């Protein structure tokens, strides 16, 4: 388990821990009520975070063990 | 025959053709049949994993929930993208172990990890128990879609039966290759249809997405946020976590993981998959538009909101294309589910009863089991009548009971033993079944409990008790395990 993988916890904590503050309709962002935007925002963030983890994860260095 | 039914029929035949043709050039053995010889690269794995989420549930239930329950529907994309995040860490481990031990099904994985055939049997039965409602959802959804989209030219029951026959046929012939090939057609169709509908419909009726939401806000503001009770925040958080945990424990997703050609393929997929869940936003836009445009659908009929609204908006040929996309969202997931259940049962029961069985015999048995499960699912489809989402939630609550055993089995030194694992699973499953069938919640026993606790998903409570039982029984039977170790060494499964 390398440290970079700890970043994987960020979407769980970020998305769910702040849910009480995100559970509102206004402001609208990108045409969506705030709560829906919050969900969409974290979908995108999840991909971004996974990309960062992938780039720095030593497990992906070198050739595949196969 | 009207034009919509004609279009749907063409796609049905096309799916059958692709599904059967997928077999060409493959020497069929169990490994090819179940996990495509562990040869699928990034593209197919993406389609198959994405295929597991764009099911009829997403198509009908996603818009249906937005229509009847509002923001609670957001739980679907929320748990899915979190499951992908978890998968980056989790599934390469599963793949690596399975590859080394030539494992092709989930029950086999557990049997090998816990060196116990009984464990394999329990997992196979539990997996099938969770899969049947899932297959029923697909067949039921297929019936609704085809019947609505053909303007009633075909009854839901007839459509479900035809769909079941087609999917059973190509799965029996091509195994997972059939699912992979039809998945290409399906994902193309669903992308086009969902994005088109999700943008066109709000613009057509309200001139834009924000103005559509503002209209909903003016009339029913409670639809756009989570409620204080019932489908509340604590329900949302607990359900999202439970399902995120359960996603890769579903036997069909587990099997798709095994069909990958490498660990890196799985990790790469994890990056792109969360973006794919954005597609569900469009499904919600349709559901929210339907709240204002076609009010009055009650209960399970909410699942019809997308189709009813589309029928009100478009010409029959467009409805035909939508129906065809809907049909494919039922066939592809159903095909992987049928196979996962049948290979699991073959591995853990038939192979134990007839250890000398040849590959050919195993294939024949798997195919018969596929027919058997199809028939059972069809019977439930025709006779049962529950809303799609409730069945979906029960499947997750059941399958997630495997989580403690799975996670404990990942490190080299497994802290729990088979007795603990099996007792825990049985305890958890017992609670889920009892709570669902008798319709009890925590407040049934403790009437004064605050809603924050009462709204927690039953699966999470069952999981909690499951973990306690697992650890306690493992600790109590430690001595037993030592004695059995020698026996186990002699009769290793893998």
Report in angstroms the alpha-carbon separations of B448 from B227, B444, B452.
19, 9, 12
User: What is the DSSP secondary structure assignment for residue B346, as one 8-state letter?
Assistant: I
Q: Is B406 on the interface with A (CB under 8 A)?
A: no
Query: Per-residue pLDDT for A5 more than 70?
Result: yes
Q: Is A29 on the interface with B (CB under 8 A)?
A: no
How many Å apart are CA B388 and CA B137, to the nearest integer?
6
* End-to-end Cα, chain B, rounded Å: 55
How many Å apart are CA B64 and CA B67, to the nearest integer?
5
For residue range B182-217, what is the model confidence (pLDDT) as tens digits? Answer: 888 888 888 889 999 999 999 999 888 898 988 888
Interface test with A, best of B85, B270, B410 (most A CBs within 10 A): B85
Query: Per-residue pLDDT for A63 more than 80?
Result: no
pLDDT computed for residue B242 by the predictor: 86
For residue range A13-25, what is the model confidence (pLDDT) as tens digits? Answer: 988 888 888 788 8
| Cβ B347 vs Cβ B375: under 8 Å | no
Query: Per-residue pLDDT for B235 more than 70?
Result: yes
pLDDT computed for residue A61 by the predictor: 74
pLDDT computed for residue B191 by the predictor: 86
Rg (Cα) of chain B, in Å, rounded? 22
CA angle B281, B58, B316 (to 5 degrees): 90
Torsion of CA B390, B385, B71, B333, to 10 degrees: 70
How many Å apart are CA B341 and CA B23, to the nearest integer?
20
pLDDT computed for residue B494 by the predictor: 46
The average confidence (pLDDT) of chain B is 85
Q: Of B285-294, B336-345, B451-460, which gets the smallest average pLDDT?
A: B451-460
Q: Of B53-67, B261-275, B415-429, which gets the smallest average pLDDT?
A: B53-67
Q: What number does CATH give the domain B3-389?
A: 1.20.1730.10
Q: Is B210 on the interface with A (CB under 8 A)?
A: yes
Mean pLDDT of B164-174: 90
Query: Structure tokens of B172?
Result: 């029996």
Confidence class for position B158, pLDDT limits 50, 70, 90? very high
- Which chain A residue lies closest to B199 (C-alpha atoms)? A31
Query: Per-residue pLDDT for B492 more than 60?
Result: no
Contact A35 B84 (CB under 8 A): no
pLDDT computed for residue B480 by the predictor: 66
Confidence class for position A48, pLDDT limits 50, 70, 90? very high
Dihedral over Cα of B190, B193, B196, B202: its sign = negative
For residue range B28-47, what is the model confidence (pLDDT) as tens digits? Answer: 788 888 888 888 888 888 88
Contact B271 A54 (CB under 8 A): yes
Closest partner residue to A43 among B217, B262, B278, by Cβ?
Answer: B278
Return the closest-CA partner of residue B149 out of B387, B344, B308. B308
How many Å apart are CA B347 and CA B369, to the nearest integer?
12
Query: Per-residue pLDDT for B493 more than 60?
Result: no
Closest partner residue to B88 among A8, A23, A64, by Cβ?
Answer: A8
């Amino acid at each position: 388990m390398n440290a970079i993988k700890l970043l994987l916890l960020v979407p769980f904590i970020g998305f769910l821990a702040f849910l009480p503050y995100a559970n509102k309709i206004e402001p609208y962002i990108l045409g969506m009520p705030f709560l829906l935007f919050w969900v969409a925002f974290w979908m995108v963030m999840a991909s971004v975070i996974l990309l960062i983890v992938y780039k720095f994860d030593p497990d992906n260095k070198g050739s595949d063990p196969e | 025959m009207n034009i919509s039914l004609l279009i749907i029929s063409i796609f049905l035949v096309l799916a059958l053709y692709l599904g059967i043709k997928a077999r060409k050039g493959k020497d069929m053995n169990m490994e090819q049949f179940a996990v495509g010889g562990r040869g699928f690269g990034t593209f197919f794995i993406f389609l198959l994993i994405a295929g597991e989420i764009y099911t009829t549930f997403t198509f009908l239930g996603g818009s249906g929930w937005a229509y009847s329950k509002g923001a609670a529907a957001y739980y679907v994309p929320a748990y899915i993208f979190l499951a992908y995040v978890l998968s980056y860490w989790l599934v390469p481990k599963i793949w690596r172990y399975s590859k080394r031990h030539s494992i092709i099904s989930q029950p086999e994985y557990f049997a090998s990890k816990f060196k116990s055939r009984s464990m394999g049997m329990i997992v196979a039965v539990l997996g099938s128990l969770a899969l049947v409602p899932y297959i029923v959802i697909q067949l039921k959804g297929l019936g609704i879609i085809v019947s609505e989209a053909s303007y009633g030219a075909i009854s839901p029951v007839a459509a479900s039966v035809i769909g079941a026959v087609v999917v059973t046929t190509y799965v029996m012939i091509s195994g997972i290759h059939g699912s992979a090939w039809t998945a290409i057609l399906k994902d193309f169709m669903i992308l086009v249809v969902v994005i088109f509908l999700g943008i066109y419909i709000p613009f057509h009726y309200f001139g834009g997405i924000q103005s559509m939401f503002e209209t909903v806000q003016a009339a029913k503001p409670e639809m756009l946020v989570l409620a204080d009770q019932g489908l509340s925040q604590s329900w949302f958080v607990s359900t999202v976590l439970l399902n995120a945990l359960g996603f890769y424990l579903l036997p069909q997703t587990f099997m798709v993981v095994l069909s990958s050609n490498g660990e890196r393929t799985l990790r790469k997929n994890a990056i792109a998959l969360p973006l794919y869940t954005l597609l569900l936003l469009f499904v919600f836009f349709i559901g929210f538009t339907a709240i204002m445009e076609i009010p009055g659908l009650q209960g399970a009929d909410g699942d019809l909101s997308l189709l009813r609204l589309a029928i009100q908006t478009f010409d029959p040929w467009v409805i035909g294309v939508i129906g065809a996309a809907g049909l494919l969202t039922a066939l592809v997931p159903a095909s992987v589910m049928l196979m996962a259940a049948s290979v699991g049962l073959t591995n853990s029961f038939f192979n134990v009863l007839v250890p000398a069985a040849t590959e050919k015999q195993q294939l024949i048995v798997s195919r018969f089991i596929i027919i058997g499960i199809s028939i059972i699912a069809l019977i439930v489809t025709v006779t049962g009548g529950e809303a799609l989402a409730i069945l979906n939630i029960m499947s997750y609550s059941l399958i997630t009971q495997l989580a403690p055993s799975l996670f404990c089995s990942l490190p080299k030194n497994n802290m729990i033993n088979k007795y603990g694992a099996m007792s825990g699973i049985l305890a958890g499953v017992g609670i889920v079944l009892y709570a669902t069938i008798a319709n009890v919640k925590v407040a049934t026993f403790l009437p004064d409990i605050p809603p924050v606790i009462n709204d927690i998903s039953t699966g999470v409570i069952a999981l909690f008790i499951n973990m306690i039982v697992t650890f306690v029984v493992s600790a109590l039977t430690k001595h037993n395990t030592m004695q059995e170790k020698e026996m186990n060494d002699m009769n290793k499964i893998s």
